[in-house]
Amino acid sequence: MKIHDMPGGFPNPLRIRIVLAEKNLTSQVTFVKVDIIAAEHKQPAFLAKNPSGTVPVLELDDGTFLSECTAITEYLDNLDGRPTLTGKTPLEKGMIHMMQRRAEAELSDAVGIYFHHATPGLGARVQPYKSPEWSGRKAWGERHRDKALAGMRYFDGILRSNPFVAGQTFSMADITVLAGLVFAGFAEIAVPADCTRLVAWNASMQDRPSVKHPA
């Protein structure tokens, strides 16, 4: 298998690298660097692998390409027939997928919109691939910063009654929240001071081997 991504803590590649570490699959994967700063992910050669122009992309040995972090996680988690990140029972699966989507919509995606539209983002090479310039784009991005802060408060509340984002076990929803917090730090969005449980949970997650030493 190959993973086409960009190393260095970018949120979505980080999510899959944590998954690989959790499943002890890192040694079975070859990493292919995609230079997103140079907009390599928007060029025809990469778009042939993933028309959405995003990383990461999993390339299987038969030439199949899988994109989207949730899809890649589902595939990797179920390879051995013993899923640990995407749920075993119908209820676990439902809860994890619900919280996974909330982690994307309320935190990670909101940080991304703020970063790419209200800041210089990844630089000049990527600018032409953003939405067309319009007078309200910066304000729109800043509204999503506020949404990300509200998302942090939401997950702080969730973690006050559960040890993990989707309940009693570590799952891909936790990985997405972790990556969202990493991205928020990169975008200089500070976790609100009153989110003490989220801060404590994040600190405890940093000691998890797959988070401390992702692929």
Question: Please, which residues bridge with residue 30 across strands?
Answer: 2
CATH 3.40.30.10 corresponds to the domain 2-78: yes
Buried/exposed code over 170-197 (b: 16+ C-beta within 10 A; e: otherwise) = bbbbbbbbbbbbbbbeebebebeeebee
Q: What percent of the chain has pLDDT over 70?
A: 92
pLDDT (tens digit per residue) in 28-50:
999 999 998 888 998 999 999 99
What are the residue boundaries of the structural domains of the chain, listed by start? 2-78, 90-208
Residue 134 clears pLDDT 70, i.e. is over it: no
Phi and psi angles of residue 83, each rounded to the nearest 5 degrees, phi first: -65, 135
Q: Report residue 131's pLDDT band, with 50, 70 and 90 as the boundaries.
A: low
pLDDT (tens digit per residue) in 135-167:
456 677 788 899 999 999 999 999 999 999 999
Amino acid identity, residue 168?
Answer: Q
Give the Cα separation of 197 and 211 in Å (integer). Answer: 19
Identify the CATH number of the domain defined by range 90-208.
1.20.1050.10
pLDDT (tens digit per residue) in 93-122:
999 999 999 999 999 999 988 888 788 767
